[in-house]
């Protein structure tokens, strides 16, 4: 993406960056919060007690924990059906730490002209972040102040040392190297989420009627609406998109005059911005985490060419076709009913 496009994209990216900072900051701050002289959130396994902001659970309260997990599962299923993979795109630890590690990588590459030095700085920064992440996570099970004080003299127990190094290594490997492979191959929610979708679930979509046939062109030609070409019929748009995605199968597209091209510049900015390395123009993709990075990149290019934004946008299948959205539908009612039932049982127990 050019410097001009990157500058245009910054306002759209700002709220995502602020959300990531808030969530990461909340995680690193959580073990340090105090409540009535004790750590506010602490799974104290040796004492067999769970302190949650003044509320203490004992082994006999294990049913409450299972109930809370069931409530969170139903809530996540309901959220996925209503809003798509917002958890994956904006709140999942793999997404947050992956973005943080990529930001460090880009900063080190820009800050040093020597590749070897940049790589060394990158790995040192990654290691420090990963180590502090491991300490923070273990600090939810061991008093964080004692854990930090015992770091330098080497007073950690064998289990504390093991779990800190385990989570540090997992953070370093997942966020630094595996990245999209965690979502593609290891995450069970990523495999389950598409089954919770229906025609009214928001996903990242491509307006092929407006974008096809794609191709580079000179500036100043205007979008399809500005120059009067208008939208293609759905059949032609689908055919062009399919042939562009499968040239070996469908054969290459013919060359089109610039006044017949759609609004897609075929610049690949959306593909380069995608952390999953996907091309959403190829149709709905089950591996898309709906982070919106491709939407921001495409909107930046549209603004640079003075085209209307929204060629890529987060919308449901029905929404892309201009149909009204249905709120009450089977995939919504099922988790909603389970959530209401669990909350009612929980209130009765309390």
DSSP state of 88: I
- Between CA 26 and CA 47 the distance in angstroms is 26
State pTM to two decimals. Answer: 0.88
Q: How far is CA 55 from CA 41, 69, 141, 208, 334, in A?
A: 9, 17, 16, 53, 31
Using the structure block, give the residue that is written with the tokens 């062009």.
240
- What percent of the chain stands above pLDDT 70? 96
What pLDDT sits at residue 251? Answer: 81
Instruction: Say whether 150 sits in a helix, a strand or coil.
Output: coil
Mean pLDDT of the chain: 91
At residue 96's C-alpha, the angle toward residues 95 and 99, to 5°, is 80
Q: Sign of the CA dihedral 147, 153, 154, 157?
A: negative
Residue 155 has pLDDT above 90, yes or no: no
* CA neighbor of 172 nearest in space, from 182, 161, 184: 182
- Between CA 265 and CA 6 the distance in angstroms is 16
- What percent of the chain stands above pLDDT 90? 73
Higher pLDDT, 6 or 191: 191
């Amino acid at each position: 993406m050019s410097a001009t496009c990157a500058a245009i994209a910054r306002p759209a990216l700002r709220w995502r960056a602020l959300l990531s900072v808030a969530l990461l900051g909340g995680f690193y701050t959580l073990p340090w919060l105090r409540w009535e002289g004790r750590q506010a959130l602490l799974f104290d396994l040796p004492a067999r007690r769970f302190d949650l902001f003044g509320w203490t659970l004992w082994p006999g309260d294990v049913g409450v924990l299972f109930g809370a997990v069931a409530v969170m599962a139903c809530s996540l299923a309901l959220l996925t059906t209503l809003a798509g993979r917002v958890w994956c795109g904006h709140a999942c630890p793999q997404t947050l730490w992956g973005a943080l590690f990529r930001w460090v990588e880009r900063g080190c590459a820009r800050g040093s002209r020597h590749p070897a030095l940049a790589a060394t700085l990158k790995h040192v920064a990654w290691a420090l972040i990963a180590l502090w992440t491991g300490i923070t996570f273990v600090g939810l099970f061991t008093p964080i102040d004692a854990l930090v004080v015992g770091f330098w003299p080497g007073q950690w127990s064998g289990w504390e040392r093991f779990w800190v190094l385990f989570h540090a290594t997992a953070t370093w490997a997942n966020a630094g190297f595996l990245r999209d492979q965690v979502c593609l191959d290891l995450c069970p929610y990523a495999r389950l989420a598409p089954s919770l979708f229906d025609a009214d679930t928001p996903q990242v979509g491509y307006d092929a009627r407006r974008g096809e046939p794609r191709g580079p062109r000179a500036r100043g030609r205007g979008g399809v609406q500005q120059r009067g070409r208008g939208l293609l019929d759905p059949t032609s748009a689908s055919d062009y998109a399919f042939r562009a995605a499968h040239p070996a199968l469908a054969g290459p597209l013919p060359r089109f005059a610039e006044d017949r091209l759609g609004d897609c510049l075929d610049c690949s900015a959306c593909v380069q911005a995608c952390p999953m390395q996907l091309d959403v123009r190829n149709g709905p993709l089950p591996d898309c985490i709906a982070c919106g990075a491709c939407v921001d990149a495409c909107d930046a290019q549209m603004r640079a060419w003075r085209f209307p934004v929204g060629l890529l946008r987060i919308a449901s299948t029905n929404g892309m076709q201009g149909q009204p959205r249905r709120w009450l539908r089977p995939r919504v009612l099922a988790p909603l009913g389970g959530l209401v039932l669990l909350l009612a049982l929980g209130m009765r127990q309390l």
